[in-house]
Structure 1
Amino acid sequence: MASAKIKKGDSVVVLSGKDKGQTGTVAKVMPKEGKIVVEGVNVATRHRKPSQANPQGGIDRFEAPMHISKVALADPKSGKPTRVRFETKKDGKKVRVAVKSGETIDG
């Protein structure tokens, strides 16, 4: 299995769309769909009618999934968007590295 460039818990910056420029933490990654859920970003609302499960009804707000290409990893040093590359350490461990600063992201 190939390593993912963006993982759950990463800090990301939104590159396009209505939430452009916002930063958030990755809550969920769906690699098969190519989508990602970011906390506090791409918040959608649904107006719910009262039902037996929810007798009050009301407005539900939730983070909707967005395409993974709309986000980039936030550089650990500057917080600006950066690309990710993979490097192999001397002990043979594969780590993610921010292209802009050269900082190791994990490991």
Structure 2
Amino acid sequence: MALKRIRKGDQVVVIAGKDKGRRGTVLGVRDDRRVLVEGINLAKKHVKADPNAGVQGGIEEREMPLAESNVMLYNPETGKGDRIGVKWIDASGSRRKVRYFKSNGEVVDA
């Protein structure tokens, strides 16, 4: 069972690129290890008008995917991005994998 280090809904910090240092929420993770972060890596896209679908034409800004290696999970205790590890824990008689912060050992998945 593979465990994704970055998941939808996580708070992340961008560590490389034009938006370095900015923080946002992950909107989705693609199979090619690229993540879509809310309000980060905005690009202008030209949209053609379609009167049948009720779409107005023009230029809109939209989030574009980032490489997963360019983001770190945000650790609220330290206030910075942090590396993630995976370990097994015994919870109520069953073992399961959880993510944890490398700096303080705190479990991310409650």
Using the size of structure 2 for normalisation, the TM-score is: 0.86
**Partner in structure 2 of residue 94 of structure 1:** 97
1:42 and 2:41 aligned: yes
Q: CA RMSD in A?
A: 1.6
Q: How far does the alpha carbon of each residue in 1:57-95 deviate from its partner, in whole angstroms, 9 at most, with x for none?
A: 111111111111110111131231111111222331221
Flag the structure with higher strand content: 2
Cα deviation, residue 27, structure 1: 0.4
3-state SS of paired residue (1:90): strand
Alignment of 1:14-93 (within 5 A): 14-30=14-30, 32-52=31-51, 53=53, 56-91=56-91, 92-93=95-96
- Which segments of 5 or more consecutive residues in structure 2 lack a partner in the other structure? none
**Partner in structure 2 of residue 105 of structure 1:** 108
Pick closer, same or farther for the CA change 1:86–1:60 going to 2, 3 Å.
same
Aligned length: 106
Equivalent residues of 1:34, 1:68 under 8 A apart: yes
Moved over 3 A (4+): 49-56
Mapped partners of 1:77, 1:27: distance in 2: 23
- Which segments of 5 or more consecutive residues in structure 1 lack a partner in the other structure? none
Using the size of structure 1 for normalisation, the TM-score is: 0.88
Q: Which moved more, 1:84-93 or 1:10-19?
A: 84-93
